[in-house]
Amino acid sequence: MGCLFAGLLLWCLHPWLLTRLGRSLIAGDSVRSVDVLLVLDGRPGYEFAEHLLSEGQAGQLLLFDKVHSRVVELGVLPTSIDLCRDLVEELHIPVRQVAELPGQMTHLDQLLDSALRHLGPEQTLAVVCSEWRSAYVRVKLSRAATRNHCTRPLLFLVDDPEADPENWWQTRHGIRLVCDQLMRCTSLRLAAETHDASPISAEQFRRAAVATHEAPPSE
């Protein structure tokens, strides 16, 4: 009887629990005026950036290139920055409001560090990304701010039309997104815990090994 009640309770609460799980991955800031924008997620992000630029809520848009894959080097696919330039032109964003970061970015940490170094004194940066990536990106932003001795950049979110936080589990796209981001966030936290653990010296290891070897057997 108890198992039946527990199962019934879980069945009634599962939409609420899944909604809370999805919302735990969403961690953005309220939109406000900033000096520089950096977009991580394709066309929706650039459309959002164009709106902020046209409304005077941002002054500059940063473009960046990714490390070229083999198919890009062979000319089969365009480079990441070429795609960004095409979007900027299509959205009629003024060239004077666009800047490009030097080099090719291999990972998000490198990109964020480069963007923060680009800022002038007292300038503010906001990163634009999909709401589902926001918890992961927010942690990365905090760590980048620590490395560069500055305040954490803001995080502006764009919706994913294919996955609603209220019912993400009803589509394959939503399930894939949430599972992927949960694994990324968990991996990020575990990596931080491993990195923060104080390493022991060779002498401490030797003493611990000797103590373990000489300890009486447990009963």
- My answer on whether 83 and 116 are in the same domain is yes
- My answer on whether 65 and 151 are in the same domain is yes
Would residue 52 count as lying in a domain?
Answer: yes
β-partners of residue 65 are: 104
- My answer on whether 35 and 132 are in the same domain is yes
- My answer on whether 46 and 74 are in the same domain is yes
Would residue 186 count as lying in a domain?
Answer: yes
- 10 Å CB burial of residue 86 (0-12, 13-18, 19+) is exposed
The residue segments making up the domain with residue 183 are: 164-214
- My answer on whether 63 and 93 are in the same domain is yes
- My answer on whether 93 and 199 are in the same domain is no
- My answer on whether 138 and 185 are in the same domain is no
pLDDT tens figures, 159-176: 888 888 888 888 888 888
pLDDT of residue 214: 44
Indicate the pLDDT class of residue 13, thresholds 50, 70 and 90: low
Indicate the pLDDT class of residue 3, thresholds 50, 70 and 90: very low
- Please give the Cα distance from 137 to 189 (Å, whole number): 13
- Please give the Cα distance from 175 to 161 (Å, whole number): 14
- 10 Å CB burial of residue 76 (0-12, 13-18, 19+) is exposed
pLDDT of residue 106: 92
Would residue 1 count as lying in a domain?
Answer: no
- Please give the Cα distance from 139 to 183 (Å, whole number): 14
pLDDT over 90, % of the chain: 47
- My answer on whether 128 and 178 are in the same domain is no
pLDDT of residue 215: 42
pLDDT tens figures, 47-79: 999 999 999 999 999 999 998 888 888 888 888
Alpha-carbon distances of 184 from 111, 137, 153, 180, 191, rounded to whole Å: 18, 10, 21, 6, 10
- My answer on whether 145 and 196 are in the same domain is no
pLDDT tens figures, 131-145: 988 899 999 999 999
pLDDT tens figures, 67-125: 888 888 888 888 899 999 999 999 999 999 999 999 999 999 999 999 999 998 889 99
- My answer on whether 154 and 186 are in the same domain is no
Domain count, the chain: 2
Would residue 6 count as lying in a domain?
Answer: no
Alpha-carbon distances of 193 from 17, 121, 141, 197, rounded to whole Å: 27, 33, 17, 6
Q: How high is the mean pLDDT of the chain?
A: 82
Would residue 205 count as lying in a domain?
Answer: yes
Would residue 8 count as lying in a domain?
Answer: no
pLDDT of residue 192: 65
Would residue 194 count as lying in a domain?
Answer: yes
Would residue 10 count as lying in a domain?
Answer: no
